[in-house]
Copies of this chain bind each other. A is one copy, B any other.
Amino acid sequence: MRYHKIPDESIRRLPVYLRALLYFSQAGEKHVSSEKLAEFLHFNSSQIRKDFSYFGYFGTRGVGYDVDKLIRQTRNILKLENQRPTALVGAGNLGKALLAYEGFGIYGFDITAVFDNDPKKIGKKIGNVSIESVKKITDLPKRNISLGIVAVPTGAAQEATDMLVAADVTGILNFAPRHLNVPRKVKVITIDIAMELGRLPYYA
């Protein structure tokens, strides 16, 4: 399977696996079977085996997967081995919530730069990061930052994105409820909170 095209959906599940594996690791488990993992995540076990088989042979027949090894492999596939400095654009309510969000640590993201265009906010600190002017986004390459989070109002989102792209960012996590235009080489993932909520009443 190693040379097949890997489904996008498999990639999407890898961070989920990683989180579950970290949980098992902390619980002191040495090995875990696809069945165990499937039960924990409410997935199908052969899907888990297939997902990992796309990337190589990670398990031991008769035994299962070595938890810590699989964690390393998964981190490796996702390119999360090293801590990744990340830039946040927008220091409003959402930006502040993201700065406080402990979840990023699991995947090694570290928000080391925060930008805003409100002069009143510039220079202030949130946690231990100082808010800088959006003009400083041009410095990102110097600071080795290639991931950005867009948490500005919808109307400013494309502009913020353009600045990140100009600073050679390769990935953007977007919270503005709109499509962002970027060059093909830049990957954008949009999280539209209200949109997710929007389909809930349908199922009720």
Chain A residues 119-157 with CB under 8 Å of chain B are: 146-147, 149, 153
Q: Which B residues lie within 8 Å of A106 (CB)?
A: 177, 194, 198
A109 near B170: Cβ-Cβ < 8 Å: no
State whether A177 touches B103 (Cβ < 8 A): yes
Contact A187 B204 (CB under 8 A): yes
User: In the complex, what distance in Å separates the CA atom of A84 from the CA atom of B79?
Assistant: 42
On whether the beta carbons of A204 and B146 are closer than 8 Å, the reply is yes
Docked Cα-Cα span, A8 to B171, in Å, equals 28
> CB-CB contacts of A61-86 with B at 8 A, as 1s and 0s?
00000000000000001111000101
Q: Is the CB of B197 within 8 A of A173?
A: yes
| Bound: A171/B192 CA distance, A | 17
With A93-B100, A100-B93, A103-B192 in contact, is A78–B197 under 8 Å at CB?
A: no
Whether A27 is near chain B, meaning CB under 8 Å from some CB there, is no
